[in-house]
Amino acid sequence: MSSLSMDVELFSFVEQYAFYSSSIILIIGSIGNILNIIVFLNRKIFQKNQCVFYLIIESSLNTTQLILFFLMRLLTEINHGINLANQSLLWCKLRTVITQPITLLSFSVVCFAAYDQFLSTSHRISLRQMSTYKSAQCLTLAAVCLLVTHSILFAIFLDVNSSVGCTVSNPIFYRYYQFLYYPCFIGIVPISISSLFSFLAFRNVRQLVRRQVPIVRRRLDRQLTAMILIRTVIFVILILPYTIDRLYWLLLDYTHMESLILEIIFSLFNLNFAVG
């Protein structure tokens, strides 16, 4: 078998894998996220709880992101495996403005939930008082405004290059994209913050028995802390490979990797939005 025919077969297999994996993740993730929202909204014990508020927001964002990822994959499939963002400047910019704030907000909400659970389970009254439903709403709204503005500014500097496709054209902004955006906003910062505060919240919960806390509240705190801790572990496991891959590509200027490996890494990244 010639190398050309092998490349064609590999390309076809990768395209099929990408389409069917995104379809399966969409179905499973949408069902799971919608069930989460229904349970959180209908259980009286969860109402007006700021941590649950974050979990509802995350489930809503994750469902939206899964639908967007699938639609982009479907468009690529219809276009015979060619990404439209690498051909159309409008779609290149529009894709970023739509998907980037949702991704970053979903990551931010994971961090917010871990931080809030740390505050609400703290033995210090001053810290517990900082954890309120209104503060959660204000923090989420501020994050939405900031991240939407960031994505619009980001899209301004995007261009379609004939050799690499949709990419950042401004050299200064490209440095930001290279050394801050992926290492910090997509990787190190959300992973570090969520891991740190979920661990601290777990430690706080183990000390609740020493405080005079109602049994119902104690059980709720333990349940929510366990959920946040498990969510953080899954978040780190699924996001870390994608972060490492992007850092490797950007820092070493390595522009070609096996396409199947890249699709598997992206599937793990996509799977993060299905298990929220």
The 8 Å CB, 24+ separation contacts for 94-98 are 94/155, 95/166, 96/151, 96/154, 96/155, 96/158, 97/151, 97/152, 97/155, 98/68
Per-residue model confidence (pLDDT) at position 209: 55
CB 194 within 8 A of CB 232: yes
Strand 158-161 with 165-168, pairing: antiparallel
Q: At what angle do helices 189-206 and 89-120 cross, to 10 degrees?
A: 20
Q: List beta partners, residue 167.
A: 159
Domain spanning 3-272: CATH superfamily: Rhodopsin 7-helix transmembrane proteins (1.20.1070.10)
Phi, psi dihedrals of residue 166, rounded to the nearest 5°: -75, 115
Place of tokens 């190190």: 188
Biggest CA–CA distance in the chain, Å, is: 74
SS3 content of the chain, % helix, strand, coil (to 5): 80, 5, 15
Per-residue model confidence (pLDDT) at position 30: 92
The Cβ of residue 181 has, within 10 Å, a number of other Cβ atoms equal to: 21
Domain boundaries, the chain: 3-272
Place of tokens 């069902």: 31
Per-residue model confidence (pLDDT) at position 223: 85
Q: What is the pLDDT along the chain (276 residues), one digit of tens a residue?
A: 555 565 566 667 777 777 788 889 999 999 999 999 998 888 887 888 898 999 999 999 999 999 998 888 888 778 766 777 777 788 888 888 888 999 999 999 999 999 999 998 888 888 888 888 999 999 999 999 999 998 988 888 888 877 667 878 778 888 887 778 877 888 889 999 999 999 999 888 877 655 555 666 667 778 888 889 899 999 999 888 888 877 776 655 544 446 677 778 888 888 888 876
Is 151 buried (19+), middle (13-18) or exposed (0-12) by CB count in 10 A?
buried
Spatial neighbors of 116 by CB under 8 A, at least 6 apart, are 50, 51, 54, 131, 136
Q: List beta partners, residue 28.
A: none
Per-residue model confidence (pLDDT) at position 251: 59
Phi, psi dihedrals of residue 91, rounded to the nearest 5°: -70, -35
Model pLDDT for residues 122-137, shown as the tens digit of each residue: 888 888 888 889 999 9
Model pLDDT for residues 229-262, shown as the tens digit of each residue: 899 999 999 888 888 877 776 655 544 446 677 7
DSSP-derived secondary structure for 183-204: IIIIIIHHHHHHHHHHHHHHHH
Per-residue model confidence (pLDDT) at position 275: 78
Phi-psi region of 166 (alpha: psi -120 to 50; beta: other; left: phi over 0): beta
Per-residue model confidence (pLDDT) at position 124: 85
Spatial neighbors of 173 by CB under 8 A, at least 6 apart, are 154, 157
Per-residue model confidence (pLDDT) at position 55: 93
